Amino acid sequence: MGRNADRIAIYSRKSKFTGKGESVGNQVELCKEYVRNMFGAEYVDRCVVFEDEGFSGGNLQRPDFKRMMEEVRKHRFRAIVVYRLDRISRNISDFTGLIDELTKLNVSFVSIREQFDTGTPMGRAMMFIISVFSQLERETIAERIRDNMRELAKTGRWLGGNTPTGFQSAAVSKLTVDGRERKSYRLIPIPEEIEIPRLIFDLYMEKDSLTAVEAELLRRRIKTKKGKDFSRFAIKAILQNPVYMVADEDAYDYFTERKAEICFPKEAFDGSCGIMAYNRTNQEKGRTTQLLPVSAWIVAIGKHSGIVPARQWIRVQESLDRNKSKTYRKPRNNEALLTGLVYCSCGERMYPKLSQRTAVSGETIYTYVCKMKERSKRERCNCRNANGNMLDAAVFAQIKSLPGHDNNLISQLVKSRVLCAGKQEQHVRQQEELQAEYAQNERTIDGLLDALGMAGESLAKHRILKRIEELSQLNREIANLIREQEDHSCANALGETEFDKLRRNLSCFCTAMDAVSITEKRAAVRNLVQKVIWDGEHAHVWLAGAGEGKEDTYAHWREDSK
């Protein structure tokens, strides 16, 4: 393994940015002192420190921890030293997997606070025992939350967050026996909006297709709460939400068969109110929100009126399950060169649609199709599709011809790469700000959970739960924003090595660009082209960095031109 195997990794973590108590700096100094005493003074200079400050121990998704493990897998360290066991993880499955991996790599794990060393059998056994109790504490807190959620469900109240389409949240005050005012929240319909979800259910029953419902809503120009066009995902979210279901006997039977936890007797399901379902989703940090099975739900009768009979709601769920296999699957790979760069003259993006046909050369034939045209079934846009193979070839040929006209291709490449790098830095900064806000909210939630255990049955308990729900909803929105930032980052921007190689290749543009792979071609085009606008007959190309309204004078193409 060489000299690197004599090095020792020191890892420190703290959930909050602070210099007090067991700060990362203090943890590191304590770990170095342990290394000096147990391994020898010469090992202190060989220690490599990894620090994650402001990150929770709920999972292993931390930047410096992942960087450390990459080095460990390359056999760069003989041991990992931490100040305390929970600095690594509070999750038993994560911890068990980590210890198993370190054992296979012949790397010791040392926790100086608990005086455990996996280099010994007793040390490994004791570490697992402590880790089990750490997870037991987390699961106890989770069960306490579910118990409180169960009690709140019996009231049928709205716990906060984004209100469903058609409803708004209204405060209801009442006096307690000791004369204090207590507020709770309930859903009340918005007259001009409540017809939208009712229409969506009726349209789906008629058309049995999310795409068809989306097209009809686009045709009628019906908007969401935020003033945007309805997407298939927004429509599906409404169709799957039990808040619109009437609490009748069919609803009770449906939830009973699926083993949901029901907080009201069957006779209470008399059709006068709607359903409130708690614990419907799993918002695990760093992952997309997932809809939990009905068996995990806590079902109650709300204070609002349902708008869809349970039998209709159930039929919609059966149809959605049945149609899952028909949903669109994006091709993993395609030969389209301008993916993500082509826009319709209506303002919407155009995406490559593959056909089952192939050209004489064996190349798959594809076209660029306007998303609005597809979604609205030609109601909002009826622009002619662009021949993808011809458009890609024409733009690629135009790029290769630029040096012959004005000899500025290399300078344009440098300029566009700097622009793309700037955009990447901007996206990274925005992602870091969002991640910091997300982490702060998680720390606040952890603190509220601790306070919840001491609140008892006081008024503070309900306020704490409401605040937890608000912060959880906020973090769901932040997680979506983080994913959007990742989607819009310059993923195809070339690194230094690739850029230098591409610049050399472009210097002999005519032969070099024909020899590279489709991935390299796509990256080169993204560094040069800002966008391509298709008006049904002509393609207009803007070079990166040219700015709006500064269309490249050479970059026009007409589909029927040869």
- Could you read off the pLDDT of 160-196 as tens digits, one per residue? 778 899 998 888 766 555 666 667 788 999 998 999 9
Selection from 127-141, 186-200, 445-459, 464-478 with the highest mean pLDDT: 186-200
- For the sheet with 47-53, list strands across it: 47-53, 7-14, 77-82, 108-111, 116-117
Asked if 96 contacts 134 with a C-beta cutoff of 8 angstroms, the reply is no
CATH 3.90.1750.20 domain range(s) in the chain = 167-325
Centroid of chain to Cα 339 = 22
For residue 116, is pLDDT > 90? no
pLDDT reported for residue 150: 72
The CATH code that applies to domain 167-325 is 3.90.1750.20
Instruction: Output the CA angle 284-288-292, nearest 5 degrees.
Output: 70
Neighbours of 30 (CB within 10 A): 19
pLDDT reported for residue 554: 39
Instruction: Label residue 12 left, alpha or beta by phi (over 0 means left) and psi (-120 to 50 means alpha).
Output: beta
Q: Taking the alpha carbons of 123, 125, 130, 131 in that order, is the dihedral positive or negative?
A: positive
Asked if 11 contacts 85 with a C-beta cutoff of 8 angstroms, the reply is no
pLDDT reported for residue 1: 44
CA distance 219 to 234: 16
CATH class of the domain at 3-147: alpha beta
Coil vs helix vs strand at 167: strand
CA distance 417 to 499: 9
Name the residue with tokens 């020191």: 10
Neighbours of 524 (CB within 10 A): 26
Instruction: Output the CA angle 118-124-126, nearest 5 degrees.
Output: 125
CA distance 315 to 2: 66
pTM above 0.75, yes or no: no
pLDDT reported for residue 257: 94
CA distance 30 to 49: 12
Name the residue with tokens 């929105």: 477
Q: If you count them, how many residues does the chain have?
A: 562
Q: Which residues is 367 bridged to in the sheet? A: 353, 387
| Among 307, 541, 313, residue whose Cα is nearest residue 416 | 541
Q: Which residues is 533 bridged to in the sheet? A: 343, 540
